[in-house]
Amino acid sequence: MPNNSNKSDDNEPIALSAYQQLAQPYFEKSDTKAHNAYYERPATMSLLPDVAGRQVLDLACGPGWYGEQLLKLGAVVTCCDITPNMLEITRNRLGGRAKVVEADLDKRLPFDDESFDVAIAPLVADYLKDVEFTFSEVSRVLKPGGVFVFSAGHPFFDFRYTKSENYFATEYFVWTWWGFGEPVDVPGFRRPLSEYTEGLFKAGFVMERLIEPKPTEKFKELEPEDYEKLTHFPGFMCIRANKIK
């Protein structure tokens, strides 16, 4: 359950400690965990353009699942994350087939201007302190015409389940995650859809497509109760945007 709070530590990424703790169990379970493997990922992957031979940046790469899929599709992959344990897992998983570097998405990215054709950022926008700043950094490192694909918690879902009184506010909150062994408190930000769309616009993107995914039949086999909920109520959203300036 979420615990609303107004406090966050400005000195480090808000979810760093949580993901340090989660890294190994997340790696072990997320490849087949229903909400990841059979809900968010099929929708996010469907938004990718042809990446064969193209420079692709995997932002907040976590345990390297997307990096591995991008390599299979023929991309030249650079993965980045702020969590040391996740970086170690990704390096071991990809075995030198991709660049893996440390990067804080709340700060200037350690990449040259116009270095990438595609950027992907799955389920990280909820942890960004300043969406507009991070989107502008993604725009900076993308080539003209580059594609940005990202997913996030659906604003309506977050608004309802945090019991917020103001949809248009950006609010810090903490979820307790129970699906990866010991319970872990994971902080994040709840924000309105317009904060994402305005952030994209100001960063020089035009939004091409927004998907509100529904769970797959495989999800139904594993989590029938959540399947029924998510076929009637959105949990995630997945967006594809193009850099136009």
Q: How many domains, the chain?
A: 1
What the block records as the tokens of 171 is 């609010």
DSSP string computed for 108-164: --SS-TT-EEEEEETT-GGG-S-HHHHHHHHHHHEEEEEEEEEEEE-HHHHHHHTT-
Can you read off the two tokens belonging to residue 97?
Answer: 């087939």
Q: What is the CATH number of the domain that holds 62?
A: 3.40.50.150
Measured CA distances, 204 to 86, 142, 162, 245 (Å): 30, 11, 31, 5
pLDDT in tens, 155-210: 999 999 899 999 999 999 998 988 888 899 999 999 999 999 999 999 999 999 99
Q: Tell me the residue range of the domain where 154 lies.
A: 2-243
pLDDT tens per residue across span 190-201: 999 999 999 999
| Beta-bridge partners for 58 | 79, 120
Residue 7 has pLDDT above 60, yes or no: no
% of the chain surpassing 70 pLDDT: 96
Strands of the sheet containing 99-102, edge to edge, are 99-102, 76-81, 55-59, 116-121, 142-153, 236-243, 205-211
Give the three-class secondary structure for 96: coil
What CA–CA distance (Å, rounded) separates 217 from 102? 36
**Count of CB atoms situated within 10 Å of the CB of 6:** 7
User: 81 — phi, psi (to 5°)?
Assistant: -160, 165
The pLDDT tens digits of the residues spanning 136-151 come to 999 999 999 999 999 9
